[in-house]
Amino acid sequence: MAGTDNREPWDDYKQLLKELELYDPSLLDKPRLVVANKMDEAIAGENEACSKEIKKVYAAASPRV
C-alpha cells in the first residue's frame, strides 16, 4: 500500500479482478482476501487514503463481503 513503484494499489487490484474474470468468471464469485504488505515503510503512513480506496474498491467488487 505504500505505492513505492508509482502504481496505485487499487488500480492493481482492479486489474487483477479483470484478469481473473478473463481466465474464469466464476472465480469472481469466490471469497477473497486482500492483504496489505510493506506497511512498515515510511511512505505507507502517509497513504491512509489508499487504504480507504482499497476498501471501497473491495466492497464494490465483493458484494457478499
- Tell me the three state secondary structure of residue 9: helix
- Which pLDDT score, from 0 to 100, does residue 8 have? 76
C-beta neighbour count of 10 within 10 angstroms: 20
Question: Nearest-CA neighbor of 36 among 20, 15, 54?
Answer: 54
pLDDT of 10 reads: 76
pLDDT given at position 50: 67
Residue pLDDT, tens place only, 4-55:
577 777 788 889 889 999 999 999 888 887 777 766 666 666 666 666 776 7
Nine-digit cell string for 22: 478473463
Q: What is the reported pLDDT for 1?
A: 46
- Going by pLDDT thresholds of 50, 70 and 90, the confidence category of residue 56 is confident
CA distances from 24 to 9, 10, 27, 39, 43 (A): 22, 21, 6, 31, 35
